Structure 1
Amino acid sequence: MSRIYPYAGFWRRAVALLVDSLIIGIISSILYITVLGTQVFKLIVQNPQTSDPKNILSIMGSMILFQILAFIFFWLYFALQESSKSQATLGKRVMGLKVVGADGGRISFGRATGRTLGKLVSNMTLYFGYYMAGFTKKRQALHDLMADTFVVQHAFQTGDEKPALNFSTGGLIASILAAILPVVFIALMMLVGIVAAFKETENINVDNMNSILVRSKAVSAQANLFLLAIDEDKEVPSSDENGISYSKTVNGYQAVFSDDAGNRFVLREKKGEYDACCAEGNCELIQIDPCK
């Protein structure tokens, strides 16, 4: 009798899981819209100042209900189908696979439930529990080992020879890479985000510092212009320690200074009016009214 190797390989199982995940995702989305969609929409369109706090509690309750219903659907989707006559979910049927017990036969609903709950443990291992199907001798994932089940080709029948496969070094490497690459990708994305955030913070800090220095110069210039206007006999300084230059004009006095970026600002004080106005530069930046 020819030797039969019925155990499903990693990639066929991966495609089957992808199909099942798409189906579960679509149903879960419909369930989410049904349970939460209307309430979330109402909360969005309401004025936050007049909205009833009870609405928030209602949404939290609905979210809990959604999580419970989603878990029940996840459990029954796998447990009912894998313990049925087909012994397979829709994804496994597409890939020509089915789930069997240690005796090669159909598993009970209780064992299928245990296998489904074991998937939660596989999820907690950053999905490495799934990748184990790529290198274990009987191509078992972690939840298969926990439930003592196997995923085999659909043509397999009870009594067919079920020899253990050789340990797959290539499968181990592929599984490790499949487990590591998403983590590496996420880590790189986080690193890029952190670097971008630091650069943005640096730019913001530089801009804030420049803004503070410019406003400080404007306040100093405004004060000196007031003093010059009050005491006309006072000598007009050509410049001060802040790099502000002063001059006397026909209508009063003028102060000129620049920021670190080289932008020029001019403040003018008219004779007989003890108030300075912004004649040139970003008046909004130095918080002084523009001259009329």
Structure 2
Amino acid sequence: MVRNPAGFWKRLAANLLDGIIVGLPIALIGYLVTNSWEENWFTTAANVIYAIVVPALWSGYTVGKRLLGIRIAKVNGGKVGIGTMFLRSVVGGLVYFITFGIALIISAIMVAAREDKRSIHDFIAGTYVTTEKLA
């Protein structure tokens, strides 16, 4: 059951905060490790690990989501885990890549327009983003 869904702007702001607070340092470390901005396997791997592991270990929060008081939750009320976050991040990302970003645009419209604010990667993983704190 979807309760108190977080809207488009809050989700976007949380992603931007994650990019600034976590992504930029990861990119800098990646450059130092690989000596390249373009072919940087380290940055890609670290970002994927962050997107999967941090929410699974931190009750659906990332740094940006925590700062804005939103978190990823399972629709069925269960706890998000590694498998859920893999589906949401990696499989969802592949869908966006395969469709040349068209599915990403559709997802943004879904979050803005749908009452439950769920996007394509939320449907793939059985998740939503909520403003509810843990009990």
TM-score normalized with structure 2 length: 0.80
Q: Is the 8 A contact 2:59 2:80 kept in 1?
A: no
Distance 1:107 1:20, change over 3 A: same
Match of 1:33 in 2: 32
Q: 2:101 aligns with which of 116, 125, 128?
A: 125
Instruction: State the Cα distance separating 1:129 from its structure 2 match.
Output: 4.5
Between structures 1 and 2, the one with greater helix share:
2
Q: Which range is displaced more, 135-144 or 122-131?
A: 122-131
Q: Residues 206-217 of structure 1 correspond to what in structure 2 (within 5 A)?
A: none
Secondary structure of 1:8's match? coil
Q: Is the 8 A contact 1:122 1:129 kept in 2?
A: no
Instruction: State the Cα distance separating 1:84 from its structure 2 match.
Output: 1.4
Between structures 1 and 2, the one with greater strand share:
1
Aligned-partner residue type, residue 19 of structure 1? L
Match of 2:75 in 1: 102
Match of 1:210 in 2: none
Distance 1:33 1:80, change over 3 A: same
Could you report, residue by residue, the CA deviation over 1:37-85 in whole angstroms, capped at 9, with x for unpaired residues?
5xx9xxxxxxxxxxxxxxxxxxx9xx3xx22x22221211011111114
Instruction: State the Cα distance separating 1:24 from its structure 2 match.
Output: 1.1
Is residue 2:17 matched to residue 1:19? yes
Instruction: State the Cα distance separating 1:130 from its structure 2 match.
Output: 4.2
Match of 1:88 in 2: 61
d(CA) in 1 for partners of 2:62, 2:107: 16
Match of 1:140 in 2: 118
Instruction: State the Cα distance separating 1:119 from its structure 2 match.
Output: 3.0
Percent identity for Structure 1 against Structure 2: 24
Could you report, residue by residue, the CA deviation over 1:143-198 in whole angstroms, capped at 9, with x for unpaired residues?
111111111014255xxxxxxxxxxxxxxxxxxxxxxxxxxxxxxxxxxxxxxxxx
Larger RCO, structures 1/2 (Cα 8 Å, 6+ apart): 2
Alpha-carbon RMSD across the aligned residues, in angstroms, is: 2.5
Match of 1:206 in 2: none
Instruction: State the Cα distance separating 1:87 from its structure 2 match.
Output: 1.6
Aligned-partner residue type, residue 97 of structure 1? I
Q: Is the 8 A contact 2:8 2:112 kept in 1?
A: yes
Q: Is the 8 A contact 2:26 2:47 kept in 1?
A: no
Q: 2:130 aligns with which of 152, 156, 181?
A: 152
Match of 1:75 in 2: 48
For structure 2, list consecutive stretches of 5 or more residues without a partner in the other structure: none
Instruction: State the Cα distance separating 1:5 from its structure 2 match.
Output: 4.5
